[in-house]
Chain A
Amino acid sequence: MDKLIIGRYIPGESLIHRMDPRSKLLAMFAFVVIIFLANDVIGYGILAVFTFVGVALSQIKLSYFLKGLRPMLGLILFTVIFQMLFTTGGDVLFQVWILKITTYSVQNAFYIFMRFVLIIFMSTLLTLTTPPLTLADGIETGLAPLKKIKVPVHEIGLMLSISLRFIPTLMDDTTMIMNAQKARGMDFGEGNLVQKVKSVIPILIPLFVSSFRRADDLAIAMESRGYQGGEGRTKYRVLKWHLIDTVLLVSLAVLAAALIAWNTLK
């Protein structure tokens, strides 16, 4: 589990770390859209420079980002190769039987590759520099306008932060239950598919039962501390919008404008 970089947070004091999670989330979404505006090497070059400035500013080692890429590597290669083989048009560079590699297919494969890498780098940058809780806060306040159409924003935020808080606890539970079942002669990962699926049941059911119990206890503890729902609550955590957050969003807008201008000029 330690190798998994997705969703991990690396504490730090960099400029990116200090940014408001709302601006980071918004920027992340905007960036994904902007990526599709780029349609040539220069466009992708500009986006790559933008991404690497972000990575450099975060002061996190590049190796973490590469590790984030690793679980997706298979998918990336798969898509890139398919693009390569099945895009038609352009000059033929290389041909075996009905499969041909053309200038178009190389181009397309390159774009797909860049899109994947840039999106993964950016989302890794977001999760590496933002504590999960702050991210949940950002989502909650970001959703606040939806309160008008009766979306239970406070409840969503609370559920998010409680789930985040209980992830390590439930992981410990799982390990404990697994070991307890092993001690009683359970074999995990042995046998055929049906047997493997069956061997998960003695972990799942106790895990569910203990989760119910935890939920019950937690609800009582919350009630005893005066929790009555979102109404009339004050907040301990507040998000602060800094100048840098405005700078980030403005720079993204400029980036998008530049790409659109470049596309129309060409």
Chain B
Amino acid sequence: MTKILKITKLKYKYDEESDVHAVDDVSFDVSRGEWVSIIGRNGSGKSTTARLIDGLMAAESGQIEIDGELLTEDNVWTLRQKIGMVFQNPDNQFVGSTVEDDVAFGMENQGVPRDEMLSRVDAALSRVGMADFKTKEPARLSGGQKQRVAIAGIVALRPDIIILDEATSMLDPQGRTEIIRVVREIKEQYGLTVISITHDLDEASFSDKIIVMKDGKIEQIATPEKLFLNNDLIEIGLDVPFASNVAADLRRSGLDIPEKYLTESELADFIWQSILTK
């Protein structure tokens, strides 16, 4: 698989004077079509990393290679077209006065001809299930709907990489599952690469690999199955999955449950089997 993103020894600090790096010697790479989650506690450098990748801030040192091209000051605008970012606050990233204007905003910036814009706006809005809201103002939308519009704006731009910068953290559980479902669908449809920064377990469990950050450094890179085995998940900024909690409780009450991560259905199957074989 080709590497769409290659990050080598990235360093960044907010305060020139201080010795504390917000991002400290971070290296990882992402294959095309992969879903990568970055997790970690507040202040661990996740969001900073995301912004560095999009060229929104200039790194102190290190290299970012997007789709085989090295990110420099000269090509930041063209490389940025390959990346679509959804941010945390649904309200503060809504640029247009109505839904359709907001979806069109990115295309306007790229100078897409108007006829094409019209069809792409419609296609993108129906892709995220917001076609009925085309002429609505942001004040009339819920947080989840605004985030769907933000995703539509990115779908319309057809980038290679989507970065979700805690895009679901301000939504209710229902809005959250819906956003994740929409992102998964468009990822499959267009073969996108997703980088998701999150504290949400469901979101992280979809990923092909999880990068754990701590104090600006990468602590470990693992698959979700491996990581969820770990019992100090809370320590690294995630909740413990429900199934792990149940398994731990059952273990404590004397049931012999294997020491590996089980999904909810796997755990249910295991309990059925153990009852039947008794």
Interface of A with B (CB < 8 Å)? 132-133, 136, 161-162, 164-165, 168-169, 172, 213-214, 217-218, 220-228, 232-238
B210 within 8 A of A: no
| Residue from B83, B101, B157 in contact with A133 in the complex, judged by beta carbons closer than 8 Å | B101
Contact among B56, B104, B137 with A224 in the assembled complex (CB-CB below 8 Å): B56
Partner of A237, one of B51, B101, B107, B138: B101
Nearest-CB residue, chain B, relative to A238: B114
- B92 and A218 contacting across the interface, CB-CB below 8 Å: yes
Q: Are A223 and B56 in contact (CB under 8 A)?
A: yes
On whether the beta carbons of A227 and B97 are closer than 8 Å, the reply is: no
B98 shortest CB reach to chain A, Å: 7
Q: Are B93 and A227 in contact (CB under 8 A)?
A: no
Q: Which residues 91-106 in B have Cβ within 8 Å of A in the complex?
A: 91-98, 100-101, 104-106
> Does B108 sit at the interface, judged by CB under 8 A?
yes
**A169:B104 contact, CB within 8 angstroms:** no
A221 touches B80 (CB 8 A): no
Interfacial residues of chain B within 72-124, with CB under 8 A of chain A in the complex: 77, 80-81, 83-85, 87, 89, 91-98, 100-101, 104-114, 117-118, 121
**Which residues of chain B in 181-211 are interfacial with respect to chain A, using CB atoms and an 8 Å cutoff?**
none
List of A residues within 8 angstroms of B143 by Cβ: none
CA distance A164 to B104 in the complex (A): 18
Bound CA span A236–B117, Å? 7
Interface of A is mostly: helix
Which residue from chain A places its CB closest to the CB of B81 in the assembled complex? A226
- The answer, among B91, B95, B157, for a CB contact under 8 Å with A169, is B91
CA distance A136 to B96 in the complex (A): 12
Q: What residues on A are CB-neighbors of B107 within 8 Å?
A: 234, 236
Point out the residues of chain A lying under 8 angstroms from B137, CB to CB: 165, 168
A209 to chain B minimum Cβ distance, whole angstroms, is 14
22 A-B residue pairs with Cβ-Cβ distance under 8 Å, sorted by A, are: A161-B97, A165-B94, A165-B95, A165-B97, A165-B138, A169-B91, A169-B138, A217-B87, A217-B92, A220-B51, A221-B87, A224-B54, A224-B80, A224-B83, A225-B95, A225-B109, A225-B157, A226-B109, A226-B110, A226-B157, A234-B108, A234-B114
Q: Is B275 an interface residue (CB 8 A)?
A: no
Partner of B85 from A165, A224, A237 at Cβ < 8 Å: A224
Closest A residue by C-beta to B95: A222
Q: Which residues of A contact B276 (CB under 8 A)?
A: none
Q: Which of A164, A169, A217, A226 contacts B106 (CB 8 A)?
A: A226
Tell me the bound Cα distance from A132 to B153 in angstroms: 22
Taking the closest CB of chain A, its distance from the CB of B210, in whole angstroms, is 24
B69 to chain A, nearest CB (A): 17
A234 in contact with B97 (CB, 8 Å): no
